[in-house]
Copies of this chain bind each other. A is one copy, B any other.
Amino acid sequence: METKARVLIDCNDAKGLVYKISKVFFEKDLNIDSNREFVDKDSGRFFMRSVVTGRFEPQELLAELKATVPEDADIKVIVPKPKKIILMATKESHALGDILIRHADGELDAQIECVIANHDTLETLVRRFDIPFFCIPADGMNREEHEAKVMELIDTFEFDFIVLAKYMRILTPKFVTAYPRKIINIHHSFLPAFIGANPYKQAHDRGVKIIGATAHYVTDDLDEGPIIAQDVIPVNHRMEWRDMQRAGRDVEKVVLSRALSYVLNDRVFVHGNKTIVF
C-alpha cells in the first residue's frame, strides 16, 4: 500500500543537499508530489519540505535521511493525520466561531480537544458544536495561580497546538516556555504596531488609513514571536474606533485561520524569530 509523507528538513546549508536528499527519494522509488527549498543566506540555513508517496516505512526513510544530511539537521517524516488542538478564548466570538465553523465543515485537518476560556460568555456557542468547554475564571487569583489551573487542565490533553483565538490575557514566560512553538496567537494589530491595550482605539487616534492583523507563534517576548500570516483592510476617517474594531475582526479571523491551516499542513518552519512558509 502507498504511503504519503511530508518530509521537513532544517539544517545548515552545504553543497549537494538537494542532490543527496533527492537521491534517497529516488533510490526508494518515491514520487515527489511537491518540493520546496529555501536557503537563508544570512544564516546559511537550508529548509526543505517535500511531499512524497510510495511504498516505504516512514522510520526507515527518516533513518536514511539522517544518515545523509549534516548531523545538526532537524528532520521530520510526517504521515498526515488530523492534529489535535486546544482553543483558548475570552469573550469575543469571531475568531473562535470561524474555527468552529471550518472544523464542523471538515475544512480543518484537526481535531478540537476543547475550548478553554476565562469567561463563560462563549459557552453556549461552543456547546452548539458539541465541543468540551472549560471555564477557568481568573477572579481573585493572581496571574500565576490562574495559569497554574489552566496548565493543569491543558496537561490532561494530548495536543499539537494551542490556538489563542482572542485569549485576552498575557501569558507568563512559564506558560510560554512550557509549550514551545506550540502556541499560535492572533494579534489584534498589524505588527509591529500599537503594542498594548485597545489597538483599535490607538489606530483611530493615530488616524491610520489601513489596519491589519498578525498571526504569530507566541514566545516569551510579548507579541514578538515569529509571524506566520498577516493581512490588512483599508479604513477611513468616518470610522469610529468600534467600526475599525469590527472591520479588524474580519481580518483577524481570516488571518488566524490561514495561519492555522499552514501549521496543520506542516508548511511552517520557524527560524530564529522568522518563519519560512512553504
Contacts and interface: CB of A to CB of B under 8 A. Distances in A.
Interface of A: 15-16, 18-20, 22-23, 25-26, 29, 31-41, 93-94, 97-98, 100-102, 104-105, 107, 124-125, 128-129, 190-194, 205-210, 212, 226-232, 234, 236-238, 240, 246, 250, 254, 257-258, 273-277
Given A254-B254, A274-B237, A93 B97 contact: no
Number of copies: 4
Contacts of A209: 227-230, 277
A273 B191 CA distance: 21
B93 A105 contact: yes
A227 to B, nearest CB: 5
B212 A191 contact: no
Contacts of A32: 18, 39
A251 to B, nearest CB: 9
Contact of A277 (B29, B34, B237): B237
A125 B104 contact: yes
Nearest to A207: B274
Nearest to A226: B207
Contacts of A258: 250
A221 to B, nearest CB: 12
B190 A237 contact: no
A236 B228 CA distance: 10
B206 A273 contact: yes
Contacts of A33: 39
25 contacts: A15-B31, A16-B26, A18-B22, A19-B19, A19-B23, A19-B25, A93-B101, A97-B101, A97-B105, A98-B98, A101-B101, A192-B206, A192-B208, A205-B274, A206-B227, A207-B274, A208-B227, A208-B230, A209-B229, A210-B212, A210-B230, A210-B231, A210-B232, A232-B232, A237-B275
Contacts of A38: 237-238
A208 to B, nearest CB: 6
Contacts of A40: 237
Contacts of A227: 206-209
B19 A15 contact: no
